[in-house]
Structure 1
Amino acid sequence: MALALAILPNFVLIALGFLLSRRFDYGRDFWEGLEKLVYYVLFPALLFRSLAVAQLDFSRTGLLLALACAFTVAGMLLALPVGRLFKLERAVSASGFQCAFRFNTYIGLALAGSLFGQPAVAAAAILLGVMIPLVNLAAVAMLASGSDRGFLRELVRNPLIISTVTGFAWNVAGLPLPAFADHTLNLLAQTALPAGLLSVGAALRIERGDGHAGAHAYWLTVKLVALPLIALGLVRAFALTGVDAAVLVLLASLPTASSAYILAARMGADGRTAATQITVGTLLSMATIPFWMALL
């Protein structure tokens, strides 16, 4: 019960975003603008600052990074045969492929802070610094395979990859973060998670059946069942405990990133497929995340 209550406020913000977007006449342009603000400004500021000032102890986090990459790659491999298995069009297959392993970082960092405090946020930020480029590489590569947008062009313009790479580089170089810059980035970072959760809720949409129910069920099973189960198995196999174990399982159990829809739409894939995965996965994760965390 305590676990569910700790998680609940984050999902209340998602529900609030959903209600506000439907009950008040803000207009779709408002929510799309907020989504872009979070994706291109607020969240990159949060990632850069978290990584730039983090105490990077690779002797401690090296194993966690390897395990996080392991369950992420497992999701990619499990998602690869879906297109042929269900005889999907390339646009549908490429759009759904990314939904099997991408994760909602807004929900992840918000839950890490709510459940385990700042140490968990710092640990999650370090893992995300490696996982975000990895999942974006795979997603952009698959989407670009049938798109007129080049792979490298999309990669070098991705704000999440840029912010994580520069944050790591800043930290490794041992550069100090000037006080005014740190304060400015902190102000932006403080607004990133609530704004991100509201935009997640606003992006939820109920879509009519598109004839791909089997594929949707497969992708959701991979994302919400197979990946956290693999992560839990790795935690047990390597005898991880405390914050390390909790963060690893939490990141594995997250629903698909809202930005999956943006990326699919921008690269000419099937946006409706990503929207369905985001909506259904986010709703189901309200039950699945507490379940997986309770098994630790």
Structure 2
Amino acid sequence: MNFAQLLFPDFSLILIGYLLCRLTALNRKVWEQVDSLVYYFLFPTLLFRSIVTSPLDLGATSGLIGAGMSMAVVAIALSYSLPHWPWLGKHLDVRLHAASAQVGFRFNSFIALALVEKVVGPQGLQLIAVLIGFCVPLFNTGAVWPMARHAQRGFARELMRNPLIIGTTCGLASNLLGLQIPPWLDPTVNRIGQASLALGLMAAGAGMQLGSLASAKALGVAVLSLKHFVLPLVALGMSRVFALDATQTLVLLMFSAVPTASSCYVLAARMGYNGAYVAGLVTLSTLLGMLSLPFALGVLGSLGGG
């Protein structure tokens, strides 16, 4: 499978946003409004629809849910622990770490949804929907907590206001209750969600300042290493602990290795942190996905029986 070809659209949109912001009249003031539109409306709509429209069989996927959530907890704990590592902790800015820790465990749901059907087939969409529904609230809680703490904002208040958590939990609740989007409304909802993908990636590119990455090299290497090397290993371990079958193991490995979420940048910027640095990490993560996906699905997949 050509992962470079799969990830090129995301990377090219980041590059387009970067060039538009710097070479045209569409400057940062314009893209700040795009950030808000994506974060508060477009992307939550995408998450809601992706969960509502995918059948959830909780009985058959209880092991996958346990493995996914356990992997999420380990990933969040590792990202939080970076300031306490020998040598590394002395070279980290705690506020920058608060904004960047999320890069080490969050994932790009669009790439996951696009990839799983090619790797596993239609059954994969059901399995990835389960992981998205249960792990996105957990990942977003992990993303918000350090930023709310360092910004001295109420953690519970920030969670209740987080549109990504609201969209995901509403989608999960609707699915479990058997509620569906009316057929006449679904095309509109689908187009709103699709718009978030292009605009979110372009906004990340517009907010990126490549020079900012040099200001905290150790932090960048640490969170990206967790995301693209350590997390797939954790996923393989959890697949064995929860005795997942070959298909579920492959989906979990893919879930662990896709690039980080483009909304990492939007969340950091919306909460008053260094969005430019986080946008740079999002860009590098998109590129590193070309290495971590073959590593997870090829090398580790063979070890896990996938």
TM-score in terms of structure 1 length: 0.84
Aligned length: 295
**Comparing 140-149 and 117-126, the one that deviates more:** 117-126
Identify if the C-alpha distance between structure 1 residues 24 and 114 changes in structure 2 by more than 3 Å, giving closer, same or farther. Answer: farther
Whole-angstrom CA distance in 1 between matches of 2:157 and 2:96:
22
Query: What runs of 5+ residues in structure 1 fail to find an aligned partner?
Result: none
Alignment of 1:229-248 (within 5 A): 229-235=233-239, 238-242=243-247, 244-248=248-252
Residue 189 (1) aligns with residue 189 (2): no
Residue 60 (1) aligns with residue 53 (2): no
> Deviation at 1:156?
0.9
> Deviation at 1:90?
2.9
Identify if the C-alpha distance between structure 1 residues 46 and 165 changes in structure 2 by more than 3 Å, giving closer, same or farther. Answer: same
Asked if the contact 2:108–2:261 (Cα under 8 Å) also holds between the matched residues in 1, the reply is: yes
- The residue aligned with 1:213 is 217
Aligned-partner SS, 1:185? helix
Which one-letter code corresponds to 1:219 in the other structure?
A: V
Asked if the contact 1:102–1:257 (Cα under 8 Å) also holds between the matched residues in 2, the reply is: yes
TM-score in terms of structure 2 length: 0.82
> Deviation at 1:13?
4.2
Asked if the contact 2:207–2:275 (Cα under 8 Å) also holds between the matched residues in 1, the reply is: no
Which one-letter code corresponds to 1:132 in the other structure?
A: V
- The residue aligned with 1:161 is 165
Which one-letter code corresponds to 1:78 in the other structure?
A: L
Which one-letter code corresponds to 1:103 in the other structure?
A: F
Whole-angstrom CA distance in 2 between matches of 1:48 and 1:158:
14
**Comparing 132-141 and 88-97, the one that deviates more:** 88-97
RMSD, aligned α-carbons: 2.8
Whole-angstrom CA distance in 2 between matches of 1:23 and 1:186:
31
**Residue 178 of structure 1: which of 179, 182, 200 is its match?**
182
Whole-angstrom CA distance in 2 between matches of 1:130 and 1:292:
22
> Deviation at 1:79?
2.1
Asked if the contact 1:231–1:249 (Cα under 8 Å) also holds between the matched residues in 2, the reply is: yes
- The residue aligned with 2:259 is 255
Aligned-partner SS, 2:279? helix
Alignment of 1:1-296 (within 5 A): 2-85=2-85, 86-87=89-90, 88-113=92-117, 115-116=119-120, 118-208=122-212, 211-235=215-239, 238-242=243-247, 244-295=248-299, 296=301
> Deviation at 1:186?
2.4
**Comparing 147-156 and 285-294, the one that deviates more:** 285-294
Percent identity reads: 38
> Deviation at 1:177?
3.2
Asked if the contact 2:204–2:279 (Cα under 8 Å) also holds between the matched residues in 1, the reply is: no
> Deviation at 1:47?
1.9
Whole-angstrom CA distance in 2 between matches of 1:98 and 1:149:
18
Whole-angstrom CA distance in 1 between matches of 2:114 and 2:155:
31
Deviations 1:78-120 (A, max 9, x none): 2233223323343123123222212233333333355555543
Whole-angstrom CA distance in 1 between matches of 2:249 and 2:14:
26
